[in-house]
Amino acid sequence: MQQPLGKTIPSAERYRRLMDVVDAKDVLAVIINADPDAMASALALRRLFWHKTRKIHIYSINRIDRPDNLAFSLLLHFRYDHIRSLKKERITTSNLPK
């Protein structure tokens, strides 16, 4: 399988390809395993797409319960929902690159 965003592609081209995947009518779900790196990445994706999509939801597969992770999430006002609250009928893969 060819990597859609390979290492030899310049960052500007990667960004352009990423922006081409989403549409203004889309609602995105970012699914993470809640640790500081994943939370920061989810916030970065939310910031990248905030003007490009209708809405962005962050879902976690686990609870944030470690004290340092809780402090991180409180400091950044990190809002997320548990993955179980994601409705199956809302999931589509029609815009995924082939």
Q: Specify the pTM.
A: 0.72
Task: Compute and round to an integer the Cα radius of gyration of the chain.
Answer: 15
pLDDT band at 30 (very low <50, low <70, confident <90, very high): very high
Contact 49, 21 (CB under 8 A): no
Please state the rounded mean pLDDT for residues 47-74. 90
Half-sphere exposure of 82 (CA within 13 A, CB side): 6
Domain map of the chain by residue range?
11-85
Is the C-alpha dihedral spanning 55, 77, 79, 60 positive or negative?
positive
Q: Which residue from 88, 90, 29, 89 is spatially nearest to 60, judged by alpha carbons?
A: 29
- Provide CB contacts within 8 A for 9, sequence distance 6+: 17
